[in-house]
Structure 1
């Protein structure tokens, strides 16, 4: 589940990553500070997920890296991405609606 798409960082839920068995890269020697919606600041070990995002109507795929963050999955979001392994997928509130190619 896409949690937040800020101007500099994309965050995804750790639980969503685990549910979909996605491969991440952990940097145990690096951490980052995350400012939460309630203005609290949390420090977390850096864990990233390479992603490709398809923007509806543009048919362009944008490669990016998302930060994996352990937070309650209370937010809902819709995200479609294209993967060379899995084809095109639409993710809505954690539900994977695959469109295999």
Structure 2
């Protein structure tokens, strides 16, 4: 499952830096979560960090992007490999 940010978002800016997959970015009016990058923090943390820190509880599961924990784990592995490959190509240090 990917998460989504609802229109109750107050643009407090606390969720974006907490996302280990860089899946959260500012949209036209509120923050948005890219379902291709969201793993619900699987591979990084036990619980989604954005959900934990959101002061208005506006980050539910996105019903249009339902994924199993195994699928989220596979997505985490793909994202991690792609990030490592990009860093290797640019000579950037790992992080």
User: What TM-score does the superposition give when structure 1 sets the normalisation length?
Assistant: 0.24
Bigger share in helix? 2
Higher relative contact order (CA 8 A, sep 6+): 2
Bigger share in strand? 1
